[in-house]
Structure 1
Amino acid sequence: MASFSNHLISSFSCSRRSASLPRRGNTPSIFRHGHYSFKSWSEVSGNKYGRILICAAETGRRQVEIVYDPEERFSGLEGEVDDNNKLSRLTLFSPCKINVFLRITGKRNDGFHDLASLFHVISLGDTIKFSLSPLKRKDRLSTNVPGVPVDDRNLIIRALNLYRKKTGTNNFFQIELDKKVPTGAGLGGGSSNAATALWAANQFSRSLVTEKELQDWSGEIGSDIPFFFSNGAAYCTGRGEVVKELPFALPKDLPMVLIKPQEACPTAEVYKRLHLGKTSSVDPLTLLEKISLNGISQDVCINDLEPPAFDVLPSLKKLKQRVLAAGRGQYSAVFMSGSGSTIVGIGSPDPPQLVYDEDEYNDVFITEASFLTRQQNQWYAEPTSSTGSLSREEPSQTGK
């Protein structure tokens, strides 16, 4: 919790029910509560756990009263503070990512592959509610999607275990995961969940460590996790854990559509079928420069994992080809994200009509999305204009 908000909340009389406050844009010059008569109120920005309203009072004995309004949201973060000014509940948005391009540049001695990729956060994401557990023995995770593990196979639990190991803290949590990101999709939903859990654990410990420390630690449990501690747009190398924030981000008003078939692409199997001699020879820094100058086009959205993924799942290749053919002029680029199996169409939020007309696409997951970044020292906020998923069914139940 920010020290500024701690000071304000502990220094004055705080109440969640102390006044019936007007909404923004409908503020009277005078309103009353009890024996206080308030002339005006204003909002203090910078408190990340809610909006704090400073009310100028007529009485000389007391100059201000601070009212916490839990119904409001600041930067998409919802928190609740107990009577001891200790954070007890926190709700966070956990967005996923796409790989605008993904080059595989070599095989490492540790068995992993070196990659070079433009990662970018998008507006599709899960919601995670964290509550302090009164029993300091075990985290308890529940989720809306059957088949998602709720033990230490889940990256959320592994992230919380890592935080306690690194810091010596003993907070345990009850976690509710409202999952909207399909698994086995190449969207990094599990990695985002883990990063969000680390950030949350640090908030409950009053920002005990820096975000850089969280980022460095997170690479121990997943290669994609460190990326989410960037501002949301980064050039990632190594296994993906070497993160260089970009001086530019892609336009937030650039629409896209995600189409994911029910079948997942097992990442291990995709890499097993990868032939380094058949990958692209384009310098990834050249791709990055082209995107920074000219934006996204089909020629820069190279994914070296597409051929092996299409080998694992031939229907995925057919889907990409059909989206390309049906969407000529509709999309500036169509490509697979990560190791699959999500096909991304950039330039329009609408899928081609064939996914509605043909029976073989009855079970695909479809959603519109946009690019997303975050402000420094704040977690990602779900866009208020988000229209949500257009999918015809729940997220995939396979994988983690």
Structure 2
Amino acid sequence: MTFHSPAKINLWLRILGKREDGFHEVQTRLCQLALGDTVEVEHLGAGHNVALTCSDPTVPLDESNLAIKALRAFESRANKNSSWRIHLEKKIPAGAGLGGGSSNAATVLKACNTLAGSPLSPAQLIELGAQIGSDVPCFLIHTPASDGAGRGEQVTPVEFDWKLPLVLIKPPFPIPTPWAYKRWANSKEIPGVPYAPQLCPWGAMVNDLERPVFEKYLLLPTLKNWLLEQGEVRAALMSGSGSTMFAITDTPVQAAELAAKAREWCGETAWIQSTSTAG
């Protein structure tokens, strides 16, 4: 079976403080995007072999890959051992704050469950997903937008009536999520960079992780300022822990035009894509 594995953005991400388990308490809204990977999953029958391939040669194909972790978690919970073939056709860059690995993991959970005869309920899949990663559950619900609480894994589906055109810009470097959270408490704002919530009809867009990330990766606050100077941009924000910045426009034509301008401004090393929220 072949599945669409969507990317996500965080329309807002608030950090409430550090928890006793070492994670941080957050409030966030996650929106799935039209942009996504393609995941092929084939059930090969009896055995215990897994063949994982990927179009991106930088993606690890061992047990550290979240898709493999999802498969192992499913087999353990469902008490089913089989042989599988999984292929990831990647369009979502790694280390981008766009949830590519988490989305792949969620897609593999759903695919394996379907191909094995649905031994697990949707609630059980969400519980498994939360054990794999904080962003995995948001890809296991039936609505394209959700609110995340706890460390982000406690998801509540929400009505989201907007299909927002947007541009994604990822510079040629990833940002490790644990690093960004670790630096949050002692980070400071950079003068001249707007961190305040951007008030929009769909909510107040803000990301508390911009503060620690912008301190080190100075291209990102410069890019945010540049995006907000463009007349067609409604709001601009970093997604998750970065390194992707995204800008929302009024129309898909404006998004395409902004993407062309961003390619000139950023140069050839940046990954730039126009897309929209899923609807």
TM-score normalised to structure 1 length? 0.63
Report the AA paired with residue 153 of structure 2: E
Sort the Cα spacing of 1:304 and 1:101 in 2 relative to 1 into closer, same or farther, 3 A.
same
Cα distance in 1 for residues equivalent to 2:119 and 2:156: 24
Show the counterpart of 2:235: 333
Is the aligned partner of 1:161 residue 2:72? yes
Residue deviations 1:80-123 (CA, integer Å, cap 9, x gap): xxxxxxxxxx0001001100000000100111000000111111
Query: Secondary structure of the equivalent of 1:363?
Result: coil
- Counterparts of 1:9-28 in structure 2, within 5 Å, are none
Q: Any gaps of 5 or more consecutive residues in structure 1? A: 1-89, 280-286, 374-400
Residue deviations 1:289-330 (CA, integer Å, cap 9, x gap): x76xx325xxx11100001111231111111111212x12x0
Sort the Cα spacing of 1:244 and 1:164 in 2 relative to 1 into closer, same or farther, 3 A.
same
Cα distance in 2 for residues equivalent to 1:278 and 1:117: 21
Aligned-pair distance for 1:269?
1.8
Report the AA paired with residue 339 of structure 1: S
Q: Any gaps of 5 or more consecutive residues in structure 2? A: 190-196
One of 106, 122, 125 as aligned partner of 1:195: 106
Query: Secondary structure of the equivalent of 2:101?
Result: helix
Query: Secondary structure of the equivalent of 2:132?
Result: coil
Report the AA paired with residue 356 of structure 1: R
Task: Please tell me whether Structure 1 or Structure 2 has the larger radius of gyration of its CA atoms.
Answer: 1
Show the counterpart of 1:265: 175
Query: Secondary structure of the equivalent of 1:240?
Result: coil
Deviation beyond 4 Å, 4+ runs, structure 1: 276-279
Cα distance in 1 for residues equivalent to 2:187 and 2:150: 19
* Greater share of helix: 2
Query: Secondary structure of the equivalent of 2:58?
Result: coil
Cα distance in 1 for residues equivalent to 2:259 and 2:32: 24
Is the aligned partner of 1:363 residue 2:274? no
Aligned-residue Cα RMSD (Å) equals 1.9
One of 6, 12, 15 as aligned partner of 1:104: 15
Cα distance in 2 for residues equivalent to 1:99 and 1:193: 18
Cα distance in 2 for residues equivalent to 1:173 and 1:226: 23
Residue deviations 1:180-218 (CA, integer Å, cap 9, x gap): 001111011100000000000110112122111100111
- Say whether the 8 Å CA contact 1:181–1:189 is kept in structure 2: yes
- Counterparts of 1:198-347 in structure 2, within 5 Å, are 198-230=109-141, 231-246=143-158, 248-252=159-163, 254-275=164-185, 294-295=201-202, 300-325=204-229, 327-328=230-231, 330-347=232-249
- Say whether the 8 Å CA contact 1:185–1:260 is kept in structure 2: yes
Specify which structure has the bigger relative contact order, considering alpha-carbon pairs within 8 angstroms and separated by 6 or more residues.
2
Sort the Cα spacing of 1:156 and 1:353 in 2 relative to 1 into closer, same or farther, 3 A.
closer
- Say whether the 8 Å CA contact 1:269–1:312 is kept in structure 2: no
Residue deviations 1:201-257 (CA, integer Å, cap 9, x gap): 1101121221111001111111111111121211110011111111x21422x3111
Aligned residues: 265
TM-score normalised to structure 2 length? 0.89
